[in-house]
């Protein structure tokens, strides 16, 4: 299964689904990375400056109680998963998502995984963002 590449079909079948969890982006030193952190993270990316983890606020609280030293982004985020199976070679989907959210002043941190795209938006604007993404299927691009 390679996923959909046609932009109009992708947007018509986006089916954004809002998570109930709140997430935070944190950066830790590479030597702090443990197997349990990896397992608890929604996603992880190694950068030159440190390891970025996206994890629930509840998980972060547990690790901070245990002494985890990290740099954390201030706001919490909700994850909107686009349930359409998008191809990693699809062109324009991220741009369409970013554009509609940017027009409303909503920041978007997009993670493309094998089957779906996941958009992290500020928690307080998440329901509005989800409605905007649902409207993409009826827009002329």
What are the tens digits of pLDDT across the range 24-71?
Answer: 999 999 999 999 999 999 999 999 999 999 999 999 988 888 888 888
What is the spatial distance between Cα 65 and Cα 83, in angstroms, rounded to a whole number?
35
pLDDT of residue 1 exceeding 60: yes
CA proximity to 92, closest of 114, 117, 129: 117
Confidence of residue 139 (pLDDT cuts 50, 70, 90): low
Q: Strand ranges (DSSP E) for 9-141? A: 16-18, 23-28, 43-47, 50-56, 71-72, 77-82, 109-112, 117-122
pLDDT of residue 138 exceeding 60: yes
Read off the DSSP letter of residue 49.
Answer: T
Burial tier of 73 (Cβ tally within 10 Å: 0-12, 13-18, 19+): middle
Contact 111, 43 (CB under 8 A): yes
pLDDT of residue 106 exceeding 70: yes
pLDDT of residue 107 exceeding 70: yes
* Mean pLDDT score of the chain: 91
What is the spatial distance between Cα 87 and Cα 95, in angstroms, rounded to a whole number?
15
Domain ranges in the chain are: 7-21+77-138, 23-72
Give the pLDDT score at 72.
76
**Comparison of pLDDT for 72 and 61, the residue scoring more:** 61
Confidence of residue 73 (pLDDT cuts 50, 70, 90): low
Give the pLDDT score at 56.
95
Give the pLDDT score at 39.
94
Topology of domain 7-21+77-138 in CATH is VC0802-like (3.30.2130)
């Amino acid at each position: 299964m390679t996923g959909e590449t046609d932009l109009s079909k992708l947007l018509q079948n986006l089916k954004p689904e809002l998570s109930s969890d709140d997430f935070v982006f944190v950066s830790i030193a590479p030597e702090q990375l443990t197997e349990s952190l990896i397992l608890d993270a929604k996603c992880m990316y190694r950068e030159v400056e440190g390891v970025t983890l996206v994890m629930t606020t509840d998980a972060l609280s547990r690790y901070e109680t245990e002494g985890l030293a990290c740099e954390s982004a201030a706001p919490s985020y909700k994850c909107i998963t686009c349930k359409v199976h998008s191809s990693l070679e699809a062109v324009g989907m991220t741009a369409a998502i970013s554009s509609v959210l940017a027009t409303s002043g909503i920041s978007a941190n997009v993670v493309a995984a094998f089957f779906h795209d996941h958009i992290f938006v500020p928690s307080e604007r998440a329901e509005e963002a989800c409605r905007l993404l649902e409207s993409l299927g009826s827009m002329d691009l």
